[in-house]
Amino acid sequence: MRTQVGIIGAGPAGLLLSHLLHLRGIDSVVLERRGRDEIESTIRAGVLEQGTMDLLTEAGVGERMKAEGAVHHGFELAFEGQRRRIDLTGLTGKSITVYAQHEVLKDLVAARVAAGGKVFFNVSDTSIHGIETDHPSLRFVYEGEPHEVQCDYVIGCDGFHGVSRAAIPAVRREDYERVFPFGWFGILVEAPPSSDELIYARHERGFALVSTRSPNVQRMYFQCDPADSVDRWSDDRIWSELHARVDSSDGQHVVEGRIFQKNIVGMRSFVSATMQHGRLFLAGDAAHIVPPTGAKGLNLAVADVRVLTAALVAFYKEGRTDLLDAYSETALRRIWRAEHFSYWMTRMMHRLDDASPFEQRLQVAELEHVTTSRAAATAMAENYVGAVAV
């Protein structure tokens, strides 16, 4: 099999890149180890920056997002028994849309199928060959038979544990990582919204987040030990913890409902500063991970795709390689900016076991500052909506 661009991973980065290349007349093949049903049903949060919404619309996959996504013009910071609002639109002229990642994937898969795109689900034993030559290839097993895709470029969009980053020789890789000593306990709840906008809560017992998924389904998180077990948490215990961390002194409270999903996720920051080697380029979680506090994961993947699309179009339409050569440098400027913002949000909002009482009061002082200073609130809002120039 021959194609121009071989893409590993049918997540948001891989599918969006494939579709944008298709719209520009560039052929691609996408390989995915999971089944279509699995990627479309794995529920993950989605806070979309304006730039992400614009690119999805440009790709022709934004219709359902606009109809069903919830546009938010701000969010609330809860601390010391009070809630204070960050006016995103008033401070930046921009907003965000809450639209779950698996819904984005459904739209992208449907678009690739309708366009006759070559997307292979349920593949195994994927391997990358010849990335230091002009003719790399991908080998994989599909429906019990071995296959090979010959291509000009390989794009690794297969996540943190995928094969793509590992294909870059270890001596050439420059990786940075910070693993946090806490995780998030997440629940999905059948209930009306607790608030019109997201609530980020800092409490002495730990962080909490309340997020709307639909008029009837809400997503909530609270800080926990990443080694904890969901079996140790009864519904009553969960609600008691969320009320303690989020409810305000003026009577605002979390709305309870039937909990139908529980899970625990770990927290880490990671950057592979080597995002390209030979004819292999990394995008999305294969190259970087951010703690979800700053809502940057999906948006960073889309930003990578925007840069890669422009670079590949320049190569195929104009014979230029300058944008491909500069891919890592270009993408990393935004990545490190987002990493810093997510790290800052995480440090400000979470209970830190190694923090002294002095440092805990500094967290409160910083929250007071960003909610009373227009300049500080603007800086926070610009980073949150993705309006910071990089």
Task: Point out the residues that are catalytic.
Answer: 72, 200, 292, 296, 384
Give the count of beta carbons closer than 10 Å to the beta carbon of residue 279.
20
Q: Say how many residues make up the chain.
A: 390
Q: Tokens 């790709």 — which residue?
A: 59
Rg of the chain on CA atoms, in Å? 21
Candidates 93, 137, 122; CA nearest to 1 is 137
Q: Which residue, among 5, 4, 29, 14, has the nearest Cα to 283 in the 3D structure?
A: 14
Q: What residues have CB less than 8 Å from 303, skipping those under 6 apart?
A: 51, 52, 331, 334
Sheet holding 288-289, edge to edge: 82-87, 74-79, 199-202, 208-212, 217-224, 175-190, 258-272, 288-289
